[in-house]
Structure 1
Amino acid sequence: MTAITPEPPKHLKARALKPGSRRPAKELCSECGLCDTYYIHYVKAACAFLNQQFPDLETQTHGRSRDLDNADDCYFGVYQRMMAARKREPIPGAQWTGIVSSTAIAMLEKGLVEGVVCVQSSEHDRFQPKPIIARTREEILAARVNKPTLSPNLSVLEQVQQSRMKRLLVIGVGCQIQALRTVEQQLGLEKLYVLGTPCVDNVTRAGLQKFLETTSRSPETVVYYEFMQDFRVHFKHEDGSTETVPFFGLNTRELKDVFAPSCMSCFDYVNGLADLVVGYMGAPFGWQWIVVRNERGQEMLDLVQDQLEVQPVFSQGDRRQAVQQSIPAYDKGVTLPMWAAKLMGVVIDKIGPRGLEYARFSIDSHFTRNYLYVKRNYPEKLMAHVPEFAKRIVSQYKLPKS
């Protein structure tokens, strides 16, 4: 018997743009993939860069919005608990220890979901993302390791409806998840789980190439990289070696314009609309930062809890002076000599912010930079686009007047 493929609603049919078409958000488009589907009908409400709506979506997702008088809420969003964790038996080839992959596999194999939206690499380019709906352990494992480029994860949403799938896990970053939450009720699902990763400073594929060629000793052999808590960029190479480059030694003048305009206009570093967030920014070096935002997030974490070594989160140091000094340095494209950059990195690593204070440092430095970017390039959007929690964070610092 031939399966019948459900038709999209008539008012959505034929609304999708062809991949690569000009997007409603124009140059601010983060290529989340929504506009590659017939759900483009909802883009004016759903796009994070056309309609910022954190309080409403947080209430819809978590039962409340963040308390702006609570500093941790302002920084980290609505949450029930945080911890630092790592797998006792890491997954070979995982970027860290494989908590995200293990959670997705457990969700699938224990029958909580029928599919997992994740991102594999193109057969032709290890850094070119290929979103899929994974239905096996092997397909999930093939998606391990972050893809540091803009990725159209939501381009597979049509397949969800066509497959008659009712229980789904989506792995994604903030801009994708805001769009997903807006169209969630249109997907016909009985249960949606969202596993988020923190995200900042993504690039186009061309931008990534420029970053690698400007920064790494061997750009053609880089497997993955990450900006880490020791104030260095860590590059993993094909031969298993790790290369580190001090933050303060990056060629800021050359790289200043390499990041996507959407990332320079984003204020959802911590993925506030996910159920469970797994990243590194609030944890000690070598550990992952886990944020449980709601009961669905706890349900997901429970599946892998016995595989993890955990410790409480902590906060140490004071970020404020380092953030204030970084504002004009970035603004003017200052690059230190490598010897000075290495020395500064060693000093800050020893006496600088750690744990949650490092996370606040990262949030502050990016929010101040992004606030200035929006103010200068999209002044008409500034007040509506920047969430209230971000305005409060930015208000702690003295910004250039122009």
Structure 2
Amino acid sequence: MTAQIPAHKKAKGLPRGNVRPAKDLCSDCGLCDTHFIHYVKEACAFLNQQFDQLETRVHGRQRDLDQEQEMYFGVHQKMVAARKTEPIEGAQWTGIVSSLACKMLEEKLVEGVVCVQNSPEDRFQPMPIIATTPAEILAARVNKPTLSPNLTILEQIEQGGFKKLLVIGVGCQIQALRAVQDKLGLEKLYVLGLPCVDNVTRAGLQKFLDTTSRSPETVVYYEFMQDFKVHFKHEDGSTETVPFFGLKTNQLKDVFAPSCMSCFDYTNGLADLVVGYMGAPFGWQWLVVRNETGQAMFDLIADQIETQSVDSKGDRRAAVQNSIPAYDKGVTLPMWAAKLMGVVIEKIGPKGLEYAKFSIDSHFTRNYLYTRRNYPEKLDAHVPAFAKKIVSQYKLPED
């Protein structure tokens, strides 16, 4: 008897450059480049928002909206601030993500790690791979702050016969992955999530660098940090800082991808373990263990890191409410005023988890407005219940 060919294997991915089913809301996650496009109507985060179902499938339950920490940060067992005791040279932080990936490979818990190197021609052009050696993982260290088609590797998983895999990715990629993971033939999938917000195309990134940095061509990486400044690392090892409030918002308002402007999964709620910075003190990273698989991943590197409890100080609400019309109108302050405001807010503004909530609130209110104005027909179904509750705390402008 001839084995039946799965329906998705009869499908063909779209060639690069073709319009995707989500059209201008496509986040370029890579799913539609493969025959897994067969599942796009169910799997795409921008065609079918399904947080409740996927949280239950992955974590065994939905987040509790009556618990503020869960409403903001998703299902989790614990959160800590951490940093490696022996940092990896050249890592964007101390190298927790790279160290965990290498450890899982070395311990043979996985046969491959889906991560993102850069193309040989351009340090900011993402090149997704399935790494099978620690050297390949280390070559992927440092974030690539552009839309990255990580899921282009889905067919390679099948072709390579991988059974145990670690996938590192951002929210839109992980939602699509979770929706199709039972079609991949895997025995075990581990998901290490990165918080993600305000991503751009490669052209959009260049505009951001050109309008913000003193030396765009030498920027190695950058990050929006807890001190309310953008930190640019340059080739000579120097660090350049620019206050959030000094960004040329009037020129950059439209640089972000429409998918990112309508995304509500900042904290990567469907990952097993999340590694970011937004809830940690300056210089530390924020680790969120969501389930037992995430705890097992955390335990693997427990002897390589020092940890401390997460903290929360200040009150974000007034700053968020004031930021809504400021962003909406593209307000750009003179640099002297931006620096002064940055100093004041750094001293009296939100810290730790309160800073994380400030960032979530300010982005969710902005994204809710963007979705309401540009995709009103999608608003109710697309915005998850937790995001609606968060946004409801603020007064939004009438259109």
TM-score category, normalised to shorter length:
over 0.9
- Separation in structure 2 between the aligned mates of residue 301 and residue 291 of structure 1, nearest angstrom: 9
Q: Residues 80-91 of structure 1 correspond to what in structure 2 (within 5 A)?
A: 80-91=77-88
Out of 344, 348, 358, the residue aligned to residue 361 of structure 1 is 358
Out of 238, 259, 269, the residue aligned to residue 266 of structure 2 is 269
1:352: Cα distance to partner? Answer: 0.3
Out of 71, 74, 94, the residue aligned to residue 71 of structure 2 is 74
Structure 2 residue 200 is the aligned partner of structure 1 residue 228: no
- Separation in structure 1 between the aligned mates of residue 62 and residue 229 of structure 2, nearest angstrom: 34
Structure 2 residue 150 is the aligned partner of structure 1 residue 136: no
- Separation in structure 2 between the aligned mates of residue 381 and residue 224 of structure 1, nearest angstrom: 35
On the 8 A contact 1:327/1:365 being kept in 2, the answer is: yes
On the 8 A contact 2:59/2:291 being kept in 1, the answer is: yes
What 5-or-longer segments of structure 2 have no aligned partner?
none
Q: Which residue identity does 2:199 align to in structure 1?
A: N
1:8: Cα distance to partner? Answer: 6.9
Determine the structure 2 residue equivalent to 1:127: 124
Determine the structure 2 residue equivalent to 1:57: 54
Determine the structure 2 residue equivalent to 1:3: none
Count how many residue pairs are aligned between Structure 1 and Structure 2: 397
Determine the structure 2 residue equivalent to 1:198: 195
Structure 2 residue 23 is the aligned partner of structure 1 residue 26: yes
Structure 2 residue 282 is the aligned partner of structure 1 residue 306: no
1:10: Cα distance to partner? Answer: 5.0
Determine the structure 1 residue equivalent to 2:237: 240
Structure 2 residue 397 is the aligned partner of structure 1 residue 397: no
- Separation in structure 2 between the aligned mates of residue 302 and residue 7 of structure 1, nearest angstrom: 41
- Separation in structure 2 between the aligned mates of residue 20 and residue 178 of structure 1, nearest angstrom: 22
On the 8 A contact 2:226/2:281 being kept in 1, the answer is: yes
User: Cα deviations across residues 266-297 of structure 1 (Å, max 9, x unaligned)?
Assistant: 00000000000000000000000000000100
On the 8 A contact 1:7/1:162 being kept in 2, the answer is: no
- Separation in structure 2 between the aligned mates of residue 296 and residue 232 of structure 1, nearest angstrom: 34
- Separation in structure 2 between the aligned mates of residue 275 and residue 18 of structure 1, nearest angstrom: 32
Determine the structure 1 residue equivalent to 2:324: 327
RMSD, aligned CA? 1.1
Structure 2 residue 159 is the aligned partner of structure 1 residue 162: yes
Partner of 1:223, secondary structure, is strand
Q: Which residue identity does 1:130 align to in structure 2?
A: M
Partner of 1:31, secondary structure, is coil
- Separation in structure 1 between the aligned mates of residue 220 and residue 251 of structure 2, nearest angstrom: 22
Structure 2 residue 90 is the aligned partner of structure 1 residue 93: yes
Out of 341, 344, 357, the residue aligned to residue 347 of structure 1 is 344
Q: Which residue identity does 1:189 align to in structure 2?
A: L
User: Cα deviations across residues 213-246 of structure 1 (Å, max 9, x unaligned)?
Assistant: 0000000000000000000000000000000000
Determine the structure 1 residue equivalent to 2:99: 102
- Separation in structure 2 between the aligned mates of residue 253 and residue 20 of structure 1, nearest angstrom: 29
- Separation in structure 1 between the aligned mates of residue 169 and residue 252 of structure 2, nearest angstrom: 25
User: Cα deviations across residues 237-270 of structure 1 (Å, max 9, x unaligned)?
Assistant: 0000000000000000000000000000000000
Q: Which residue identity does 1:393 align to in structure 2?
A: I
1:19: Cα distance to partner? Answer: 1.6
Determine the structure 2 residue equivalent to 1:174: 171
Determine the structure 2 residue equivalent to 1:214: 211
Q: Which residue identity does 1:353 align to in structure 2?
A: P
Structure 2 residue 313 is the aligned partner of structure 1 residue 316: yes
Structure 2 residue 246 is the aligned partner of structure 1 residue 252: no
Out of 380, 384, 388, the residue aligned to residue 387 of structure 1 is 384
Question: Percent of aligned positions with the same letter in both sequences?
Answer: 79
Q: Which residue identity does 2:167 align to in structure 1?
A: V
Q: 1:10 to 1:47 in 2, by over 3 A?
A: closer
Q: Which residue identity does 1:330 align to in structure 2?
A: Y
User: Cα deviations across residues 282-333 of structure 1 (Å, max 9, x unaligned)?
Assistant: 0000000000000100111111110001000000000000000000000000
With normalisation by structure 2, the TM-score equals 0.98
